[in-house]
Structure 1
Amino acid sequence: MTPVQPPEHPAPAGSARWEASGDRAVAVDANAGIISTGPGATIYTAPAVQLPPAQSVAEPRGQRNHNLPRPPSALFVGRDADVVRLGTALAEENEPVTRILVGLGGVGKTSLTLQYAHRYRERYTTVWWITADNPDAITAGLASLTSRLLPDLATPATTNALAEWAISWFQTHPGWLVVFDNADDPSHLAPVISQLDTGRHLITSRRTAGWHHLASPLRLDVLSPADAAELLMRTAGRTATGNAADAATVAELAAELGHLPLALEQAGAYVHNHAIDFAAYLERVRRYPARMFATAYAGSTDRRTIARVWRVTLSTIADRDPLAVEILRTLAWFAPDHMPLDLITSIDDDLLAVDDALALLAGYSMITLAPPHLRVHRLVQAVARTADPADPLRTEEAILMARDRAARFLLDSLPREGTEGESGAASIAVPQWPGWRNLRPHIEAFMELMPQDQDTAEVAVVLHETSRFLLDQGHVPQAARYSERALAARERVLGDDSPETLSTRNQLGNIYRAAGDLGRAIPLYERTVAARERVLGADHPDTLSTRNYLANAYRDSGRVDRSIPLYERTLADRERVLGRDHPETLISRNNLASGYRDAGDLRRSIPLFETTRTEAERALGQDHPRTLLFRNNLATAYEAAGDLARALPLYERTLADRESLLGDTHPDTLTTRNNLAGALQDTGSLPRALELYERTLADSERVLGHEHPRTLLVRSNLADALAQAGDRGAARALWEAVVTDSERLLGTDHPDTLLVRGNLAGVLEETGDPGRAAALWESVVADSERVLGTDHPDTLLARCNLARAEGSVGLSQRALADCVRVLGDDHPRTLTARRELALALDAAGDLPQALAMCERAAEDSARALGADHPRTRSARATLARLRRTLIVRVPPLDGSASRRVILNNATPDRP
């Protein structure tokens, strides 16, 4: 064999390999010995490289020794506190000190570390930056220190030899900082760090797990909303304009990008380079997410993009566990925060495999585990659910499969088991509310992402059930949107007459009725009744249920001529089909009694309520929730009759039983406490009434929320009690707030909104603002006539109040005539209208007519409601005042001045 001299200029270590050819030939990068093979082998010998002892080589004098890859960023925003935190963590006196900075790719770990290294370079004798994503890179990074310190001697040495020498140098020269950037595997660093014990190690990694044997990781989160907006503006080269709309758009875009620094810089640079505004970028990123996430901005030295950063991570995860990628694609369809772990565990029968997959995702910062929840960054979700033909992990087919899987998970996670609430409509049981509240954000997120024209039967079930919960919570507009969408999906997928479609149509009627939109509720109920009679039969329980809801809507609309016969027919059919003691039969009997009560027919209402209460106690038990419901409603009938001697004890007993059975803050308990406060208010027991109202309001706000319709009504009732107690200023302020909230939450045309607007008009009149009161009454009358109809009881009441406010005899006479025509002579509102006409006649100076009208009002009230009813007592008090003010002039016999005489010539009061 013939020795061959090495080439004149050997390639540096780590460069492209030599090529070999021939049988048993070899190729080497660098060599310090002899390589031999078989016959014909080429033998290359190289002189051994002798590096000086590491301890004999001092660090460079003057300028500090470092290899930081780039200057500190001029766009460093919102991380000063993190720099300080990092500096504190690295400032311990004992050595070695290892700190690990972890976080999602693109969150700014490298930028923060680079900023720290530049800012505190003087603390260290050497700052050495090593890319640490694989073992070869770590070795090369160490070797580069030797090449820096021994530029003439390092060239012929092997990379491994150079790295070993660098380790020796670090061991003999304390006070350094070594940065291991983008480390992927703790096992790659452990052998190196274990030998470096005279300085500081700072590691950055997307992985959060596996570092415990080295140090506890420091987690870097996304920027705050304000800092994210500032970074976005500065990267785009824009300055704040002070325009609220511009600021809102910037904030919206920053939130859309999840306040992630890399995404913000990418967006800002795109805005700057393409000379567009932030709204345009937001529209583009929503319309073309795959392309926008993969676009690096021109002129940038950092060619990373969101898609590129995470594609590498996802590929690594997929190689280790394909189930983890399936989970991530599924999680992409839910809300990013507070995601219940139970939502995803059914993805595989092997729970241990699911645990491992979740741990792997968390280990690479793709999710954050915080049992019993997990969190995913919104941009991770956006990328994971965006198809990209260039990415085999994000095919259209895989993403659609994940979307369908997410729908099934939502369906399987729905809290079940409905119960019956105050209205008799199927509602969500209160113990299920926490589960619904946890799930609601994820349902909403899914529905935002799911195209409506692609809704499946499973999605329709989720929409339908969620609309029921939303209605219970008072979120009527959203409940309507979900129910309308569920109906469209079921009509398309299942057909117009499927039982599921009819169920949703019935539910939508309930929502329209709750919204006060009887113009849509009644026709929808009528259509559903007809369809159920045709499809299911006239006696089917579902048919009877819808007929009951239709009767409720007729009652709400003031159409007694339709509601009472339909209640009576439904009750008879339920007694025949279901039996007298069936819960639905009891509900029908209760609703018929309520219809009689609202029609002013207390002679039929009270006995029927009493029968319903008795039969419920026998069939269901004294403490059954429905028994307590019927007892509460019987108390309302006693109160309507002015029989507070029976109403108050029944309210007290029902409240105690509901508190014991359901709890102090159950919605039904709050209803009875509110009603008890009202009855106490009628008796003049204002201190206790106010205390109960205030307690009920506090509990309603806590349990139902500040914006629930029931909460608004309790606030209105409290205002009424304050007005009665003489604190009209507080009542006025509270009613004005309730009107504002009702108009915002329920709409200007909702019956509850019209009610509280009328209450506000009344207190305005009492607090010396008659002009505004009259104007408000006029608007209430006009809106009530338009929304409820000219003959609705609430419209008639509003016209009576307007007539009183304006002191118009003509308006009062027309209002009374309408009440007599629509409601009858003995209806409570007719009796009130007659008394109001008497007051208008008095104000007009026609005292004889005023007296006659008030006498009639007192007589009719005593006959219809009883001598002790508050309305009767009020009419008598008005009559007594009119009598005292009736003065006639008697001509004097002696020509002296006239004198006034009070006459008592009215008909005596009747019992």
Structure 2
Amino acid sequence: MSGASLEASGERSAAVHSNAGIISTGPGTTFYTAPAVRLPPAQTVAGPRGPSNHNLPRPPNALFVGRDDDLKRLGTALAAERPLSTQIVVGLGGVGKTSLTLQYAHRHRARYTTVWWITADSPDAITAGLAALTSRLLPDLAAPATTNALAEWAITWFQTHPGWLVVFDNADDPSHLAPVIGQLDTGHHLITSRRTAGWHHLAQPVRLDTLHPDDATELLTRTAGPYATVESRDAAALAAELGHLPLALEQAGAYINNHGISCGAYLERLRRYPARMFATAYAGSTDRRTIARVWRVTLSTIADRDPLAAEILSTLAWLAPDRLPQDLLAGFGDPLAVDDALALLAGYSMITKMPPHLRVHRLVQAVARTADPADPLRTEEAILAARERAARVLLDGLPEGASIEVPQWARWRSLRPHIEAFMELTPPADDTADVVRLLHALSRFLLDQGHVAQAAAFSERALAGGERLLGPDNPGTLTSRNHLGNIYRAAGDLGRAIPLYESTVADRERVLGPDHPDTLSTRNYLANAYRDSGRVTWSIPLYERTLADRERVLGPDHMDTFLSRNNLASGYRDAGDLGRAVPLFEATSADAERVLGDNHPRTLLFRNNLATAYEAAGDLERALPLYERTVADRERQLGHAHPDTLTSRNNLAGALQETGATGLERAVGLYERTLAESELVLGLEHPRTLLVRNNLADALSQSGECERAVATWESVLADSERVLGSDHPDTLLVRGNLAAGLLERSETGAAGGREAGGVADRERAVALWESVIGDARRVLGDDHPDTLLARSNLARAHRSAEATASVLADCVRVLGPGHPRTLTTRRDLARAHRAAGELPEAIAVCERAVRDSTRELGDDHRLTRTMRGELASLRRKLVTMVTPYGPGASHRVVRTAD
């Protein structure tokens, strides 16, 4: 600096940067003229030595964990043999950029002649940081000089003293650093910044991510001290809630330590009082940074530069943090403006762009959706507006169309976590009409995917919101009630499904009229539920009435009319009335081909169900070719892994089981292929997948692979109980089949020297059947066909003619004398008499069974042929049973057209 430094005091005084003399500005003025100061040449001044060769702001962090690999990368990038090197560490505020850099500087301080730390968040701060070096080196001479002069001298000093490290911490703008770094080429530069873009002319930035979950938990527990000695899962849960962000972990740990609470208690406070917890620094801390303070500045900067970016971020805060479909933002307007906004957010590490997805740190989201009176961008009104935008964004992003088709599954699966996150963050009392529509839509998809428990929860919430917002008689509310009934029915909860359907039918008749298509639809669903409950005498009249009304209102060739005819035929089939079921299935299939075409999905559905009727009638000569044709057509039209194709292939395998050894071998292969594709397409836990596994076990048992069959049933039962619940009809079915498999193994095993194991298997089989009977009576009722089947199986296990006769009487009363279940039970009674040595009784029962089966099913039905053979055997006075008691028949997938 040249010239004298001048200070003036008094009224009307003046300060002049440079003056050759003295001026007077009024009476009372006093003057002090400082001596002219010349700073010595920079190259002649030695640098700081020994322990004082740095100005690092803090000692190394004793709690530094999880960054060893990052430190190694810095050490490699800033190798000693490189005289000039620049390394830039970027990342989210609070991720630990400063801590990492500070740790590196302390560990490698001995490698450098000088280590100088500069806060670089503004040009003035950079200038001040450089000037501070001059003040350190020239404490007596620097005071009179200007800050700019001191900074210029420091630059010259760095130029003439190689081997230094300069840290530019929290740099906000690359252009602020470029002029300085351009002049310093004899040492290492280490830069930290929240901005990820704009550094390419200096160096390739290295992104610092959050801590590994294990390291995050360790940091939290070490910071929290003895108060974190609760179960480790509490600390891990809190670390996950904080997004494994180091600053948040240290802030939480210090709070826990200071307040003497547990990790679980802190997590509860964080969820109840987020604004306060984000803003609280612990007492005695020298670092007053908190998550709220660190990000408030960034959020304000973003909003100033681009309000759209702030609006987008506040909207994304209500969704899941990972794999956010970027196309959800299409509704925000001009695509280029949206791209610019996303670039700005990514530039400040508020989001990560992973095309076609975005990722937002969960703690950024938490802060962005938490109202803060100190932040004008996060008022209560702004937070609520962002939540409403998020609901609309999700609603607009849903696939189009009233039905959920397979090509839409990928989109639904990508949106599901975000809708679920939104619902978890939104109190049900705050649900708007948009939120109710979202809930209803997601529950439909979840039902389609077999997630009945989750579907029920969302549907119940949608119904409550609809009744509150629209009223109980609004058509939309009635639709929600109908849909919830569908979910209860799919869950096997007929005790709730049937009353809900009944009330919805009554209300739709009153509000919409008895002939409204929605009224007829609910009546059809109610008939389905009656049929599921075993009340075929209730379901068939309702099917018949609905069919007549649909033919009158919609016409005989309407799609809904076809569905009613199909369902009525299914009711006849389940009632054992194959004389009416088969012709009606045939007529429906023919009419669908005429109206819809051979390859329409509904035509293929009706053809599949016609094949099931042929199979039930024992007419495999017509059933098998029709199954084969339907499988081929569905593979061609829908794809080999479409759920409907899998259903047809499963049904074909079931029919092949009945054709002997050759067909059985092919059936096992078909089941295995169907299972593999079902697991891939539907998932391991989808109800249809579980059903195919059950059927595969049955085929394995029939093939003599008893061990594999039992092991498969064991695993299916465990999964069914976990996924569907212990009371679901499918779970009861699998439990009964496992019992049958154990009984068969006990009989075949005993012959092979497994007497002890055989006794254990038999005892467990009996216990399983007893539990099935108890649960079936409670869930389905005493007269449900599945309850009767379980009772029949238990009687067979005991070889009790008396118990079998009791079941037979109930079958005759409930199902009728000609129902296949009744005929099978009569055959079992004959076998029980034979096992007891009561041949006259066995012959009499078997003769009646042959007569009834011939009359109801025909001479060529497999059951008729089987019983005729057993009757001949009895008449030849053969005491040995023809066939051992084996597992019950496979429960096959027959898709009901709802």
2:548 corresponds to: 572
Q: Relative to 1, partners in 2 of residues 1:37 and 1:580: Cα closer, same or farther, differing over 3 Å?
A: farther
Tell me the TM-score normalised to structure 1 length.
0.92
Tell me the secondary structure at the aligned position of residue 170 of structure 2. strand
2:736 aligned with 1:744, yes or no?
Answer: no
Unpaired segments ≥5 residues, structure 1: 8-17, 420-427, 889-911
Unpaired segments ≥5 residues, structure 2: 747-760, 881-898
Between 322-331 and 662-671, the greater mean CA deviation after superposition: 322-331
Equivalent pair of 1:35/1:43 in contact (CA under 8 Å)? no
Corresponding residue to 1:295 among 272, 280, 283:
280
Amino acid aligned to 2:670: L
Q: What per-residue deviation string (whole Å, max 9, x for no partner) do you get for residues 42-75 of structure 1?
A: 8875544322222223333444721111111111
Amino acid aligned to 2:818: D
Q: Distance in 1 between matches of 2:794 and 2:288?
A: 72
Matches within 5 A, 1:624-703: 624-684=600-660, 685-703=663-681
Q: What per-residue deviation string (whole Å, max 9, x for no partner) do you get for residues 122-154 of structure 1?
A: 222221111101111111111112222223332
Matches within 5 A, 1:372-387: 372-387=356-371
TM-superposed deviation, 1:571: 0.9
1:401 corresponds to: 385
Corresponding residue to 1:614 among 570, 590, 597:
590
TM-superposed deviation, 1:720: 0.7
Tell me the secondary structure at the aligned position of residue 208 of structure 1. coil
Q: Distance in 2 between matches of 1:770 and 1:579?
A: 56
Q: Distance in 1 between matches of 2:4 and 2:254?
A: 56
TM-superposed deviation, 1:517: 0.7
Q: Distance in 1 between matches of 2:298 and 2:238?
A: 25
Matches within 5 A, 1:274-673: 274-347=259-332, 349-419=333-403, 428-673=404-649
2:792 corresponds to: 800
Q: What per-residue deviation string (whole Å, max 9, x for no partner) do you get for residues 235-275 of structure 1?
A: 1113986x7xx122111111111111111111111111111
TM-superposed deviation, 1:6: 5.3
Between 830-839 and 682-691, the greater mean CA deviation after superposition: 682-691
Q: What per-residue deviation string (whole Å, max 9, x for no partner) do you get for residues 377-408 of structure 1?
A: 11111111111122211111111111111111
Q: Distance in 2 between matches of 1:232 and 1:850?
A: 76
Equivalent pair of 2:228/2:263 in contact (CA under 8 Å)? no
Equivalent pair of 1:182/1:206 in contact (CA under 8 Å)? yes
Q: Distance in 2 between matches of 1:27 and 1:594?
A: 101
Q: Distance in 1 between matches of 2:5 and 2:304?
A: 45
- Identical positions, percent: 75
Q: Relative to 1, partners in 2 of residues 1:561 and 1:37: Cα closer, same or farther, differing over 3 Å?
A: farther
Tell me the secondary structure at the aligned position of residue 88 of structure 2. strand
Amino acid aligned to 2:105: A
Between 517-526 and 165-174, the greater mean CA deviation after superposition: 165-174
Q: What per-residue deviation string (whole Å, max 9, x for no partner) do you get for residues 67-105 of structure 1?
A: 111111111111111111222222284443211111111
Between 145-154 and 88-97, the greater mean CA deviation after superposition: 88-97
Amino acid aligned to 1:210: G
Amino acid aligned to 2:712: L
Q: What per-residue deviation string (whole Å, max 9, x for no partner) do you get for residues 509-557 of structure 1?
A: 1000001111111111111111111111111111111111111011101
Q: Distance in 2 between matches of 1:338 and 1:71?
A: 39
Between 790-799 and 681-690, the greater mean CA deviation after superposition: 681-690
2:891 corresponds to: none
Tell me the secondary structure at the aligned position of residue 118 of structure 2. strand
Tell me the secondary structure at the aligned position of residue 66 of structure 2. coil
Equivalent pair of 1:847/1:886 in contact (CA under 8 Å)? no
Q: Distance in 2 between matches of 1:597 and 1:621?
A: 25
Amino acid aligned to 2:554: L
Q: Distance in 2 between matches of 1:204 and 1:19?
A: 43
Q: Relative to 1, partners in 2 of residues 1:61 and 1:4: Cα closer, same or farther, differing over 3 Å?
A: closer
Q: Relative to 1, partners in 2 of residues 1:885 and 1:352: Cα closer, same or farther, differing over 3 Å?
A: same
Q: Distance in 2 between matches of 1:438 and 1:255?
A: 22
Amino acid aligned to 1:714: V
Amino acid aligned to 2:490: A
Between 170-179 and 393-402, the greater mean CA deviation after superposition: 170-179
Corresponding residue to 1:728 among 706, 710, 715:
706
Matches within 5 A, 1:847-862: 847-862=839-854
2:62 aligned with 1:74, yes or no?
Answer: yes
Tell me the TM-score normalised to structure 2 length.
0.93
2:211 aligned with 1:235, yes or no?
Answer: no
Equivalent pair of 1:208/1:363 in contact (CA under 8 Å)? yes
Q: What per-residue deviation string (whole Å, max 9, x for no partner) do you get for residues 636-673 of structure 1?
A: 11111111111111111111111111111111011111
Q: Distance in 2 between matches of 1:791 and 1:538?
A: 31
Q: Distance in 1 between matches of 2:879 and 2:806?
A: 28
Q: What per-residue deviation string (whole Å, max 9, x for no partner) do you get for residues 838-878 of structure 1?
A: 12112222121112212322332233223332322332343
Equivalent pair of 2:6/2:15 in contact (CA under 8 Å)? no
TM-superposed deviation, 1:820: 0.6
Q: Distance in 1 between matches of 2:242 and 2:841?
A: 75
Higher RCO (CA 8 Å, separation ≥ 6 residues): 2
Q: What per-residue deviation string (whole Å, max 9, x for no partner) do you get for residues 806-844 of structure 1?
A: 122221011000001111111110011001111211222
TM-superposed deviation, 1:881: 4.3
Amino acid aligned to 2:284: G
TM-superposed deviation, 1:573: 1.0
Q: Distance in 2 between matches of 1:458 and 1:828?
A: 50
2:683 aligned with 1:705, yes or no?
Answer: yes
2:245 aligned with 1:260, yes or no?
Answer: yes
Q: Distance in 1 between matches of 2:11 and 2:407?
A: 78
Q: Distance in 2 between matches of 1:550 and 1:89?
A: 71
2:132 aligned with 1:148, yes or no?
Answer: no
2:161 aligned with 1:173, yes or no?
Answer: yes
Equivalent pair of 1:581/1:615 in contact (CA under 8 Å)? yes
Equivalent pair of 1:758/1:780 in contact (CA under 8 Å)? yes
Q: Relative to 1, partners in 2 of residues 1:881 and 1:143: Cα closer, same or farther, differing over 3 Å?
A: farther
2:750 aligned with 1:766, yes or no?
Answer: no
Between 657-666 and 41-50, the greater mean CA deviation after superposition: 41-50
Q: Distance in 1 between matches of 2:202 and 2:149?
A: 26
Tell me the secondary structure at the aligned position of residue 344 of structure 1. helix
Q: How many residues align?
A: 860
Equivalent pair of 2:649/2:674 in contact (CA under 8 Å)? yes
Q: Distance in 2 between matches of 1:884 and 1:778?
A: 36
Equivalent pair of 1:32/1:45 in contact (CA under 8 Å)? no
1:422 corresponds to: none
1:891 corresponds to: none
Q: What per-residue deviation string (whole Å, max 9, x for no partner) do you get for residues 552-574 of structure 1?
A: 01110111111111111111111
Q: What per-residue deviation string (whole Å, max 9, x for no partner) do you get for residues 328-363 of structure 1?
A: 21111111111111222313x333332222222111
Equivalent pair of 2:48/2:54 in contact (CA under 8 Å)? no
Equivalent pair of 2:720/2:726 in contact (CA under 8 Å)? yes
Equivalent pair of 1:20/1:27 in contact (CA under 8 Å)? no
Tell me the secondary structure at the aligned position of residue 204 of structure 1. strand
Q: Distance in 2 between matches of 1:587 and 1:5?
A: 99
Between 868-877 and 460-469, the greater mean CA deviation after superposition: 868-877
Amino acid aligned to 1:374: L
2:109 corresponds to: 121
Amino acid aligned to 1:104: L
Equivalent pair of 1:494/1:501 in contact (CA under 8 Å)? yes
Amino acid aligned to 2:465: A
TM-superposed deviation, 1:5: 8.5
Q: Distance in 2 between matches of 1:609 and 1:74?
A: 78
Q: Distance in 2 between matches of 1:875 and 1:37?
A: 130
Tell me the secondary structure at the aligned position of residue 179 of structure 1. strand
TM-superposed deviation, 1:198: 1.4
Q: Relative to 1, partners in 2 of residues 1:144 and 1:35: Cα closer, same or farther, differing over 3 Å?
A: farther
